[in-house]
Homo-oligomer: A and B are copies of this chain.
Amino acid sequence: MGKNRLEAFSDGVLAIIITIMVLELKVPHGEHSEDLMPLVPTFLSYVLSFIYVGIYWNNHHNLLHATHRVSGGILWANLHLLFWLSLFPFATGWMGENHFAPLPTAVYGGVLLMAAIAYWMLQQLIVATEGEQSALRHALGADWKGKVSPLLYGLSIIASFWSHWMAQGIYVLVALLWLVPDRRLERAVRQEGV
């Protein structure tokens, strides 16, 4: 009930987030390569965030595909997730403009951490609604990626002030972890033959 509109609204917000992030890549005034160079860190942070939003869209897509009932609580848990994702353009822009300096790197990690927690809460709520015997519950299994990611984000926040390049390395690593498609949910969807 209302699942389609929830998907449509989430897709709309995610599409806007992924696109307005590029507005932080400000058009430089000069026409030479030295005018373009200062934008390289902003471009790299844009690439990283684009992949992260893509991962969230992908996982969200699979999660909602395996969802059959949408309650008021799920609507708000979804909005809570979208709230933290909406801070990606800000965190990305700040990190890029300051060439991956410690504090912006830590703040970026904080936004990643909160988004991961919000996703986990949404997932828990949906699992609780679907039931312990649901195909979704079985498909998630131990959900080690979902458990390890927040730990790694937490680690990288601390690492930011010690070695911000190590923190960046962790962000890239977690993105790679998730880029491997989440076969669990795809399998659940296939088993049901929805």
Binding site for B on A (CB under 8 A): 1-2, 5, 7-9, 11-20, 22-25, 27-33, 36, 47, 50, 54, 57-58, 61, 65, 72-73, 75-76, 79, 82-83, 86-87, 89-90, 93-94, 97-98, 101-104, 107, 179, 181, 186, 189, 194
Contact = CB atoms under 8 A, between A and B. Distances in A.
21 contacts: A1-B65, A1-B194, A5-B11, A7-B8, A8-B8, A9-B57, A12-B12, A16-B16, A16-B20, A18-B82, A22-B86, A22-B90, A25-B90, A29-B97, A31-B98, A31-B101, A31-B103, A36-B103, A54-B79, A57-B79, A61-B75
B86 A50 contact: yes
B86 A19 contact: yes
Given A72-B58, A103-B32, A14 B9 contact: yes
Nearest to A85: B19
Given A2-B61, A79-B54, A15 B25 contact: no
A15 B18 contact: no
A102 to B, nearest CB: 8
A58 B86 contact: no
Number of copies of this protein chain within its complex: 4
A54 to B, nearest CB: 4
A13 B18 contact: yes
Given A25-B87, A31-B98, A58-B75, 13 more contacts: A1-B65, A5-B61, A11-B12, A12-B12, A12-B15, A22-B86, A22-B87, A22-B89, A23-B23, A24-B27, A25-B90, A27-B90, A58-B72
Nearest to A179: B76
A50 B83 contact: yes
Nearest to A57: B9
A104 B22 CA distance: 17
